[in-house]
Each structure stands twice: as structure tokens, then as C-alpha cells.
């Protein structure tokens, strides 16, 4: 968390940047730019969350307890399963820990969003936030109980683990962050070369 705060800055340091301006024109120009990126982050997060939630409701209603649906022959099928563990079904005994990690990721992204001036970073963090919220919703509200719920997974490629749209959003957001980091684009919109 300290590294993320160092890169983006904390919300407490936002006022210091604005007061450091020598004239009153620079600070107002920064505010709309920052708000647009926050709106982008939360729009992407909301879209990812709603798509995940809607797909899980549909899967539980129409597919759970039934035969898998073959989408592309033997290469891809939809098969409803409940996953109490992490990715690829690992760590079933650590459901509460995964719930806490997802909650911490959400808090860090929301806390750091104020200093976000890069649209690509807003999209990446929005995907992470939406995916984390989607799986956290399952952990909190699905059986067997609060903070121990099993995540609904249903996308089943051949010879791979079953996953859901929240997992896809998290992976895509993570890949985008790696690409942005390699290109030297910081979340505050600056470009650096190492």
C-alpha cells in the first residue's frame, strides 16, 4: 500500500499540490481533469460489477444443477460451480483471508483514486475494483455464510480452470497495469524512463 501511495500520492497531499500553485489558474485546471478520471474509474468498475453480477444471477437461475452448455464444441462450455477458494480452486480453507484481501484492494483503490490523472490507469483500476467487488459480493452474501461464501464460476475452457467475469476483469486490469508500468506511464499521468 505504501508503494501505491508513493506513486499516486495520498488524498491528504492533494491539497498541498493545489496550494503550491503560484496563481489561481493552475489549481482549477487540475480539478476537472482529476474528476474525469475518477468518473472513468467508477464507470468501468460499475460496468464490470453489473456484468458480473447479472451473469451470476442468470447462471444460478438457469444453469446451476443442470448439464453444462457447450458453447464451442469441447473448447468452451458454461458450467456452474461454486468455488470457495481462490483462483483455480486453490486455498479453500482460506476463504476469509481472500475476503479480507478483496476488501483491502477495494479500500486502496478508492483511497488512491483522488490522485488519478491517467485514463488508462483509471480503466485498469476500474477493472480491478469491479472484479474485486463482484467476487466480494459472493463471499459476503452466498452460502455457506457471511465472509465464507463460495464464488459462482461458470466459464469453463477446455484444460483450464473455471472462472467468471469478475476474474476476467481482475486479470485484464492486472495485465493493463503491467503494460502501463513497462511503458513508464504513472497513475498521475506522468511518463518516466528508467
Q: Buried b vs exposed e over 117-150: b needs ≥16 C-beta within 10 Å?
A: bbebbbbbbbbbbbbbbbbbbbbeebeeeeeebb
Q: How far is 13 from 95, CA to CA, in rounded Å?
A: 35
Q: State yes or no: is 153 an active-site residue.
A: yes
Residue pair 166/131 in contact by the 8 Å Cβ criterion: yes
Tens of pLDDT, residue by residue, the chain (194 residues): 445 455 545 444 444 444 444 454 444 444 445 556 899 999 999 999 999 999 999 999 999 989 989 999 889 999 999 987 766 556 565 667 777 888 888 898 988 888 888 999 999 999 999 999 999 999 889 887 777 788 999 999 999 989 999 999 999 999 999 999 999 888 888 887 76
pTM: 0.77
The residues that bridge with 157 in the sheet, in sequence order, are: 76
Cβ distance 118 to 36 under 8 Å?
no
Q: How far apart are CA 167 and CA 19, in angstroms?
A: 41
Active-site position among 74, 167, 186, 188:
167
188 is catalytic: no
Order of strands across the sheet that contains 69-72: 69-72, 76-83, 151-157
Closest by CA position to 114, among listed 125, 103, 104? 125
pLDDT of residue 192: 79
Instruction: Report how far Cα 63 is from the mean position of its chain's Cα atoms.
Output: 25
Phi, psi of 24 (to 5 degrees): -75, -5
**Whether the Cβ atoms of residue 164 and residue 151 lie closer than 8 Å to each other:** yes
pLDDT of 36 reads 66
Q: From the candidates 17, 23, 79, 153, give the one annotated as an active-site residue.
A: 153
- Inter-helix orientation angle 26-62/119-141, to 10°: 40
d(CA 148, CA 92): 10
List helix spans (H) across 9-164. Answer: 14-19, 26-62, 95-112, 119-141
Amino acid at each position: 500500500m505504501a508503494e501505491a501511495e508513493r506513486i499516486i500520492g495520498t488524498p491528504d497531499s492533494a491539497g498541498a499540490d493545489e496550494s503550491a500553485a503560484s496563481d489561481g489558474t493552475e489549481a482549477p485546471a487540475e480539478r476537472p481533469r482529476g474528476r474525469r478520471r475518477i468518473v472513468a474509474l467508477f464507470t468501468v468498475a460499475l460496468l464490470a460489477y453489473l456484468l458480473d453480477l447479472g451473469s451470476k444471477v442468470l447462471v444460478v437461475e438457469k444453469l446451476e444443477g443442470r448439464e453444462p452448455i457447450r458453447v464451442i464444441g469441447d473448447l468452451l462450455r458454461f458450467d456452474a460451480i461454486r468455488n470457495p477458494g481462490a483462483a483455480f480452486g486453490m486455498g479453500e480453507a482460506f476463504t476469509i483471508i481472500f475476503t479480507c484481501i478483496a476488501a483491502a484492494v477495494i479500500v486502496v483503490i478508492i483511497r488512491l483514486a483522488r490522485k488519478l490523472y491517467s485514463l488508462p490507469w483509471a480503466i485498469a483500476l476500474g477493472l480491478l475494483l469491479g472484479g474485486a467487488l463482484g467476487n466480494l459480493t459472493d463471499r459476503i452474501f452466498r452460502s455457506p455464510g457471511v465472509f465464507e461464501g463460495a464464488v459462482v464460476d461458470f466459464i469453463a475452457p477446455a484444460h483450464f480452470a473455471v472462472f467468471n467475469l469478475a476474474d476476467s476483469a481482475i486479470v485484464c486490469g492486472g495485465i493493463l497495469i503491467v503494460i502501463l508500468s513497462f511503458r513508464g506511464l504513472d497513475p498521475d499521468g506522468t511518463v518516466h524512463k528508467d
